[in-house]
């Protein structure tokens, strides 16, 4: 089940980081699930960084993970009143520098590389993969 007694402040703490907001907002706006390499290629942040942020969001109860072989698909936990309202808040956040719009656009293009609706490739931006460049 979801609730492992997550304190309210832990939920907001999970969103108190620009990268984590980008992750949640991306998944909220597209209503999609994504594996880590897709997030890396969309947000253009290092693999280890997003891995940790995704973990933080999972521990806060915002994300659920589904393992499929080597890939792990992350999606928003939905159906919980206060979480659903948080997503709504995120979706109407101002996007002054167009960062969120770019994330969504990059993500949509990355989704085109799926085969049969599943990710079959890894990180397409080599300098963001483990080990750096």
Partner DNA sequence: TGCATACATGCGATATCATGCATGTATGCA
Partner DNA sequence: TGCATACATGCATGATATCGCATGTATGCA
Note the Cα 49 to chain centre separation in Å.
Answer: 12
49, 59, 78, 89: which one binds a second copy (CB under 8 A): 89
Contact 30, 114 (CB under 8 A): no
Cβ 106 to DNA shortest distance, Å: 16
Looking at residues 11 to 40 of the shown chain, list those that interact with a second copy (rule: CB under 8 A): 12-13, 15-18, 21
Tell me if 43 contacts DNA by CB under 7 A. no
CA dihedral sign of residues 57, 59, 62, 66: positive
The region of 21-29, 86-94, 98-106, 115-123 touching DNA under the rule CB under 7 A is 115-123
Closest by CA to 51, choosing from 36, 31, 66, 29, is 36
| Partner from DNA, a second copy, none contacting 94, C-beta within 5 to 8 A by type | a second copy
């Amino acid at each position: 089940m979801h609730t492992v007694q997550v304190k309210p402040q832990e939920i907001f703490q999970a969103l108190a980081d620009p990268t984590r907001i980008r992750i949640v907002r991306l998944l909220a706006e597209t209503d999609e699930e994504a594996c880590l390499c897709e997030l890396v290629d969309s947000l253009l942040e290092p693999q280890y960084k997003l891995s940790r942020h995704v973990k933080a969001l999972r521990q806060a109860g915002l994300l659920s993970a589904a393992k499929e072989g080597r890939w792990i698909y992350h999606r928003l936990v939905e159906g919980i009143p206060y979480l659903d309202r948080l997503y709504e808040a995120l979706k109407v956040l101002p996007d002054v520098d167009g960062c969120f719009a770019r994330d969504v656009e990059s993500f949509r293009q990355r989704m085109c590389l799926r085969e049969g609706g599943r990710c079959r490739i890894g990180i397409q931006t080599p300098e963001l993969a483990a080990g750096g460049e």
